[in-house]
């Protein structure tokens, strides 16, 4: 599979002569409008683009992947992670190819080219729903990890509470307020996504730290004989077990969603033909992290692994310095999410601005609009995470739908629409497969979430 239908020379020429259009332009053009001079930004680096795209991919979902190994077995699970990486590459390739054919420079632009204003708005709404939900969930998780939670009826101490005891300054509200003001707000002020390359690199490094710690613990326990070899294939004793296999599909389908940032990353490259190796490098890097996390997580905890493997690091690991290692994993994960936040926020802000002000002047040249949208979004996310924790339940439904639309349904629909007559027969077959898979995944996710909520409500009624 390849990305791009133009030669590097043709593509570079197209990139350098690209007009700055209101709804299609990068967040901040590399060239000043009007005077022809250049600003201080001279194009994103290859490594910076890889880290930003990889950070978009590796969010909170990394913690759900090890549990899929318990359901489908180690070998099929790893094969499925690799398969969905290839499928994601194919869907991104479709977007890039139709973007170049239609001379558009944003995901919304490609949707507008294929389906008009309605298609463009639909994409923007899906990105807003998905990213607002993701960011609220990130903030809730950060609060749970650092300050603790009692949402299940049983209090789980946060890292800060465990270290210093219960105080007003390590309570949930104050910790999240400091996080929002000291970390999220400064990082949200950057107009170039490339400006986040260092925090993105650190975010990926922290994901690797989690893998290294998990691998180290698993190897120590394996050598001491305290854990057994993981099951390689699923156990299917009855029909219920067959249905259970399908429940992992939504986790894997949404594991590589990064499509809403691909054009933003490409637009800031000096040579946009580099987007092909950037996408491939990012997918290989994230697949490696996913496979290592899944393998060592499942090896370490086996059948006792929980849906969110982070919860397994809330108890004694059975080795020396268990408490220290647990805290290292939890703190590194919380900081990882803090650094993922601005990358997801960047796309959210850009799409909200495009939806609300489609005919306004470029976002980059209107600091007042930029500041108002930034402050407004941060405030909504902060307040929702603190005062409406049950909003997580709502976003389980809307988020699943929006994510599969962004990742697979919209790219496939663009290909089937084929506004420029460039789709091959294989493209259309693959597009139909993507849509069927995405719809099946979404149906399973909605059913599973609804069933879980029903069971939880029933349990509360009887208690």
Q: What is the mean pLDDT of each run of 10 residues along the chain (463 residues)?
A: 42 42 43 40 85 91 85 91 95 95 93 95 95 91 82 68 79 91 95 93 94 92 83 77 76 89 93 92 96 92 83 83 89 94 96 91 84 95 83 67 92 95 95 93 79 64 50
Nearest partner of 262 among 246, 242, 283, 245, judged by Cα: 283
| pLDDT confidence of residue 250 | 81
Q: How far apart are CA 61 and CA 186, in angstroms?
A: 25
Token pair for 30: 């590399």
Location of structure tokens 């739908």: 401
Q: How far apart are CA 183 and CA 198, in angstroms?
A: 14
- CATH number at 313 reads 1.20.1740.10
Query: Is the distance from CB of 92 to CB of 3 less than 8 angstroms?
Result: yes
Q: How far apart are CA 197 and CA 55, in angstroms?
A: 9
Does residue 260 sit within a domain?
yes
Residue 107: which domain range?
46-458
Rg over CA atoms, the chain: 22
| pLDDT confidence of residue 295 | 93
Q: How far apart are CA 386 and CA 172, in angstroms?
A: 8
Token pair for 435: 């849509």
Q: How far apart are CA 420 and CA 418, in angstroms?
A: 6
Query: Residues 6 or more apart from 238 whose CB is under 8 A from it?
Result: none
3-state helix/strand/coil string of the chain? CCCCCCCHHHHHHHHHCCCCCCCCCCCCCCECCCCCCECCCCCECHHHHHHHHHHHHCCHHHHCHHHHHHHHCHHHHHHHHHHHHHHHHHHHHHHHHHHHHCCCCCHHHHHHHHHHHHHHHHHHHHHHHHHHHHHHHHHHHHHHHHHEECCCCCCEECHHHHHHCCCHHHCHHHHHHHHHHHHHHHHHCCCCHHHHHHHHHHHHHHHHHHHHHHHHHHHHHHHCCCCCCCCCCCCCCCHHHHHHHHCCHHHHHCCCCCHHHHHHHHHCECCHHHHHHHHHHHHHHHHHHHHHHHHHHHHHHHHHCCCCHHHHHHCCCCCCCHHHHHHHHHHHHHHHHHHHHHHHHHHHHHHHHHHHCCCCCCHHHCHHHHHHHHHHHHHHHHHHHHHCCCHHHHHHHHHHHHHHHHHHHHHHHHHHHCCCCCCCHHHHHHHHHHHHHHHHHHHHHHHHHHHHHHHHHHHHHHC
In terms of Cβ atoms closer than 10 Å to its own Cβ (0-12, 13-18, 19+), residue 271 is: middle
Does residue 389 sit within a domain?
yes
Q: How far apart are CA 226 and CA 220, in angstroms?
A: 9
Does residue 349 sit within a domain?
yes
| pLDDT confidence of residue 233 | 84
**How many domains does the structure of the chain reveal?**
1
Q: How far apart are CA 148 and CA 172, in angstroms?
A: 7
Q: How far apart are CA 76 and CA 234, in angstroms?
A: 8
Q: How far is CA 91 from CA 46, 144, 297, 397, in A?
A: 21, 35, 29, 23
| pLDDT confidence of residue 364 | 73
| pLDDT confidence of residue 159 | 84
- 390 CB neighbour count, 10 Å cutoff: 7
Does residue 24 sit within a domain?
no
Does residue 233 sit within a domain?
yes
Token pair for 432: 């139909």
Does residue 150 sit within a domain?
yes
């Amino acid at each position: 599979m390849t990305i791009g239908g133009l030669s590097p020379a043709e593509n570079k020429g197209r990139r350098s002569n690209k007009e700055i259009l209101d709804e299609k332009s990068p967040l901040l053009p590399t060239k000043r409008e009007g005077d022809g001079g250049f600003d201080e930004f001279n194009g994103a680096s290859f490594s910076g683009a890889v880290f930003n795209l990889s950070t978009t991919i590796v969010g909170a979902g990394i913690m759900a992947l090890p549990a899929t190994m318990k359901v489908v077995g180690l070998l099929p699970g790893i094969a499925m992670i690799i398969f969905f990486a290839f499928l994601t590459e194919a869907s991104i390739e479709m977007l890039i190819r139709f973007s170049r054919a239609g001379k558009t420079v944003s995901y919304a632009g490609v949707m507008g080219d294929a389906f008009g204003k309605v298609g463009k708005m639909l994409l923007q709404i899906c990105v807003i729903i998905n990213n607002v939900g993701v960011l609220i969930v990130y903030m809730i998780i950060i609060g749970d990890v650092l300050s603790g939670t009692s949402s299940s009826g049983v209090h789980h101490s946060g890292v800060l509470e465990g270290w210093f005891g219960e105080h007003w300054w390590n309570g949930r509200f104050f910790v999240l307020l400091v996080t929002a003001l000291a970390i999220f707000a400064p990082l949200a002020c950057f107009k170039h996504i490339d400006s986040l390359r260092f925090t993105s690199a650190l975010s990926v490094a922290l994901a690797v730290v989690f893998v290294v710690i998990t691998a180290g613990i698993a190897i120590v326990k394996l050598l001491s004989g305290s854990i057994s070899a993981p099951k390689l294939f699923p156990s299917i004793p009855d029909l219920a077990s067959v249905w259970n296999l399908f429940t992992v599909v939504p986790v894997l389908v949404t594991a590589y969603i990064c499509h809403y940032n691909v054009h933003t990353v490409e637009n800031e490259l000096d040579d946009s033909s580099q987007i092909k190796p950037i996408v491939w490098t990012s997918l290989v890097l994230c697949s490696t992290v996913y496979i290592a996390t899944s393998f060592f997580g499942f090896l370490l905890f086996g059948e006792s692994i929980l849906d969110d493997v982070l919860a397994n690091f809330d108890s004694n690991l059975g080795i020396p310095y268990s408490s220290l290692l647990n805290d290292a994993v939890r703190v590194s994960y919380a900081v990882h999410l803090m650094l993922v936040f601005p990358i997801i926020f960047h796309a959210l802000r850009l799409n909200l601005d495009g939806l609300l002000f489609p005919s306004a002047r470029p976002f980059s040249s209107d600091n007042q609009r930029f500041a108002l949208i930034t402050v407004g979004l941060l405030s909504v996310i902060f307040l929702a995470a603190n005062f409406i924790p049950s909003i997580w339940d709502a976003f389980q439904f809307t988020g699943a739908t929006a994510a599969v639309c962004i990742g697979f349904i919209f790219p496939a629909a663009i290909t089937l629409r084929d506004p420029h007559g460039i789709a091959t027969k294989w493209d259309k077959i693959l597009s139909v497969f993507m849509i069927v898979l995405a719809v099946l995944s979404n149906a399973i996710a909605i059913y599973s979430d609804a069933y879980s909520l029903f069971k939880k409500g029933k349990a509360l009624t009887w208690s």
